[in-house]
Amino acid sequence: MTVTEGKSKVSAGGRRSLSGETIPNVAIFFKRTGLEFLQAIFSVRPENSYRYDADDTRTEIQISDLHAVNLDAVNVRPTIVAVRGPVSWQGMGIGGGAVAGRDMRTGNHQFADLLTGSVAFSCISREGIEAEQIAHLVFNSFKFFRPVLQQYGFFTVKSLNIGAESLVEQEGSDDKTTIVPVYITAMAPDRWILDDTAARTLRAIVIETFMND
């Protein structure tokens, strides 16, 4: 699937979520694929063992985006919250230009490169040992199923880290919450096509701007 932006085209580069949806935005892709992966893994766990269910009244653990999670529910059940980190362009193409080829008929240039992104999965619980156990499950899930993730667009999982345990105390309350983060850094392919007409127009705009300065 290709998304047209002006006269340039950006390909998803094979990036699909576990539900099969093509995701051109690599920043969204890293986080959504990670969340869907963990939801799938925890959905097949035995009952009373952090089993995930899309039904909030039945699930034993929350697994969601930072902006969708109900933090008040942490007092009832543990939570895994995804927070995306930086996404960077590697510039690893030929000559650092990422040019993969040129269509001699249209003059369009094809580009291919790698993008590196990171996501932190914060495992939250009222019990420190429980937060550590969930973090261990998250860590091992990404480690054991690296080949599966690669099929959905992760070029490679570069690194996995379990962060230090931290205790959060709510002001004016005796409630204490433990957070143990799991950090994943991965690389995904990125491809796009630059229309020759758009390239010439952009070049003219840039040259005119500098000449006027």
As a whole number of Å, the end-to-end CA separation of the chain is: 40
In the numeric block, the tokens 């930072």 are attached to 66
pLDDT for 130 equals: 95
- Residue-wise pLDDT for 106-157, tens only, equals 556 676 778 889 999 999 998 999 999 999 999 999 999 988 888 766 768 8
Residues forming beta bridges with residue 79, ordered by sequence position? 62, 124
pLDDT for 65 equals: 87
Q: Outline where DSSP puts E strands in the chain.
A: 2-5, 8-11, 62-65, 79-89, 99-102, 109-125, 156-162, 166-169, 176-194
State the virtual CA torsion across 23, 135, 61, 19 in degrees, nearest 10.
Answer: 20
Spatial distance between the Cα atoms of 75 and 199, rounded to a whole number of angstroms: 55
**Which pTM value belongs to this model?**
0.73
Range of the domain at 51: 2-212
Tokens of 148: 């599966």
Spatial distance between the Cα atoms of 20 and 187, rounded to a whole number of angstroms: 19
Relative to beta strand 79-89, strand 62-65 is parallel
Spatial distance between the Cα atoms of 202 and 191, rounded to a whole number of angstroms: 20
pLDDT for 1 equals: 33
pLDDT score of 8 more than 70: no
For 163, residues 6+ apart whose C-beta sits below 8 A from its C-beta are: 120, 180, 181, 182, 183
Query: Are the C-beta atoms of 118 and 85 separated by less than 8 Å?
Result: yes
Give buried/exposed letters for 152-174 (b at 16+ CB in 10 A, else e). Answer: bbbbebeebeeeeeeeeeeeeee
pLDDT for 51 equals: 96
Tokens of 147: 């080949």
Per mean pLDDT, which range of 16-20, 24-28, 59-63, 71-75 is the poorest? Answer: 16-20
Structural domain count of the chain = 1
- Residue-wise pLDDT for 164-202, tens only, equals 999 887 665 567 889 999 999 988 877 766 666 665 676
Of all residues in the chain, the percent with pLDDT exceeding 70 is 59
pLDDT score of 97 more than 60: no
**Confidence category of residue 70, pLDDT binned at 50, 70, 90:** low
pLDDT for 98 equals: 58
**Confidence category of residue 96, pLDDT binned at 50, 70, 90:** low
Q: Which residue from 126, 117, 156 is spatially nearest to 25, judged by alpha carbons?
A: 117
